[in-house]
Each structure stands twice: as C-alpha cells, then as structure tokens.
Amino acid sequence: MILEINTDRLSKLIKSFYELTKIKIVVYDDSFREVLCYPKTDSAFCSMMKNASGASSMCHQSVEKWCQTCKEKDALVQYTCHAGLTEVVAPLKEGGRTIGYIMFGQITDIKDKQEFREKVLECCREYPLDFGVIEEKIKSVKYKGNEQIKAVSDLLNTFVSYIYLESIVVLRKDGKTKKVIEFIDQHLSEDLSIDMLCEKMLVSRTVLYEITRPVMAEGIAAYIRNRRIERAKELIANTEKSVEEIAGMVGFLDSDYFRRVFKKTVGVSAKTWRNKMKTEENK
C-alpha cells in the first residue's frame, strides 16, 4: 500500500502533540514501518533495548502485534510492550481501510518505582543486559497516571480524526479515483446513489466499483456514510446548528435515522459528542 503524506503538516502535528503531552509519538505505515516520530530520539531505556541483541527484533514484533490488534478491533488499544512499558496505538483510516497507525508510548502507568523496576527486570530477564544498567536506564521512563493516559488517548483520537478530515495521510490514488472522492466530498448533502455517481462520472457501475475499490474497502455506500458522519462530527463540534439541521446538511433526510447512525458509528450520541468537544475546548 502506497501512502501520500503531507510530511510538513504531519510533522508539525506530532510535534504539537509532544509539546502538549511530553510523550513520544510515532506514525507507522500499514507495513509497520516508521514514517515519522517526535522527538527523534528514544528514551535512554528504549534506546538501550533497541541496541541489545534479541531485544531490537522484539521491539518490532511488539509494534506489529499490537498494530494488528488495533486493526482487528478497529479502535484505539492500550497495551504493555515486551519490555514492560505502556503504549497506546490508534488506526489511521481512509474509506473504511486501515492505512497506518499512530502510537504514543515509552511511558509507565505504574507509580510505585519498586514495582515498576521488578516488572521491567522480569520482562528483560531473557536479554543479555546488565541489571545494573537496566535499573539506571529505567529512570528515563516517564510515569503517567491512568487519568492522564485516558486524556492523552482522547487527544490522540482527535488527532486521528483531524488527519483524516484534512487528508494529511491518504492512499495514493489515480485521477479517476480522486475525481470520485472529490465529487462525493463536495456533494454530501445531495443524493449520492450509485446510479447518480455513474451518471456524473460517465462510467458504468462495474467501472465505478473497480476504480473505488482500492480506497473504499467496505463499499461505496459505507464510504459515503462514514464521510457524512465525519462531516457531521465537525459541524456538531464547531457550530451551534441543531442536530436536525446538520443531518440535512450531510445528506440524511431522516434526523432520527441520522441520530442512530451517528451513535452507532461514533459510540456516543450527537448531543454527547457536542458536549465532549466543548469540554475539551475549554480545558
């Protein structure tokens, strides 16, 4: 899978994330290759692990394992890595397909230093590392409480939504596919049936499905529904318009149906989403 990344905007975004949280953040592509990170350097402990015989490959395997889990669950996942540190990963998606991952970590949620020390030493027992060196290096690992991790996870989800809405990380598309996507985005409030899209794009149904399949893994209808919900989330968060008005603006003729789809897709009601966004804005 080949990605198009607005490197300048993504770099600024992950730097802002770090400035707010002081937690390392990393972006991976769908093959679990590191695309960008901030800061560039690891904590002293993680740097030691990545240079230790056997441990480096385990670091990569841990990333791959939990990114796969994140993809399967289609949601943010918090986990403990092979070395005993706490990390959180979220999927980057486009058109219903996971195209990459964004992760923060190199922290611990264990406040008691002795308990954390014992956990790390147990996890690292199989590696050819001096325990005295490990004990010295784990001092570089930052502690974050569960409430802090939850807050940063919420922030990460917001970042992921912004990356999607602003098309900062997308699949590389040919001209015809781009044309279909641009048309859909510009006409979300209108009828977007398959027949209408075929008529506007001057293609058959077979060709339409063919050119959209690479970026609309769940189908054209699901892609349109997801785009409508993403636009609705943005309008709910940034305007005072009623839910009924917004439903119409994003192509839902039945506001009750819109409410059901919104809650099923987002996980909370439109009203709860608005209150949540206002609360985060006022923090």
Note the pLDDT of residue 183. Answer: 94
Pick from 140, 170, 200: which residue ends a domain? 170
The CA distance from 159 to 90, in Å, is: 10
Cα–Cα distance, 176 to 211 (Å, whole number): 7
Domain end: 136, 170, 204, which one?
A: 170
Token pair 């990393």: residue: 26
Alpha helices in the chain (DSSP H): 7-21, 44-50, 55-73, 113-123, 131-137, 146-165, 175-186, 194-201, 205-212, 220-238, 243-249, 255-266, 270-281
Q: Is residue 164 within 8 Å of 94, Cβ to Cβ?
A: yes
CATH number of the domain within which 224 lies: 1.10.10.60
* Token couple for 246: 């917004």
- Residue 1 pLDDT greater than 80, yes or no: no
Q: Is the pLDDT of residue 266 over 70?
A: yes
For the segment 253-275, the average pLDDT, to the nearest whole number, is 92
Q: Which DSSP letter does residue 126 get?
A: T
Residues 54 and 104 in one domain: yes
pLDDT of 283 strictly over 80? no
The DSSP secondary structure of 168-226, one letter per residue, reads SEEE---HHHHHHHHHHHHTTTS---HHHHHHHHT--HHHHHHHHTTT-TT-HHHHHHH
**Do 118 and 7 share a structural domain?**
yes
pLDDT in tens, 112-164: 999 999 999 998 888 888 888 888 899 999 999 999 999 999 999 999 989 98
Same domain, 163 and 186: no
Which among 126-130, 170-174, 242-246, 263-267 has the top mean pLDDT? 242-246
Domain carrying residue 229:
174-281
- Beta strand pairing status for 97-108 and 142-143? parallel
Q: Can you give the pTM of this predicted structure?
A: 0.73
* Alpha helices per DSSP H over 74-145: 113-123, 131-137
The tens digit of pLDDT for each residue in 152-200 reads 999 999 999 899 888 899 887 788 888 999 999 999 999 899 999 999 9
The number of distinct structural domains making up the chain is 2
> Could you say which of 170, 185, 207 is where a domain stops?
170
Domain co-membership, 142 together with 241: no
- From 271, 276, 274, 275, select the one nearest 259 (Cα to Cα): 271
Classify residue 32 as exposed, middle or buried by CB count within 10 Å of its CB (0-12, 13-18, 19+): middle
Q: State how far the Cα of 229 lies from the Cα of 222, in Å rounded to an integer.
A: 11
- Whether residue 164 is found in the same domain as residue 214: no
Does 190 lie in the same domain as 122? Answer: no
158 & 181 share domain: no
Q: Helix (H, G, I), strand (E, B), or coil: what is residue 249? A: helix
- Split at pLDDT 50, 70, 90, the class of 57 is confident
Which pLDDT tens digit goes with each residue over 5-37?
999 999 999 999 999 999 999 999 988 999 999
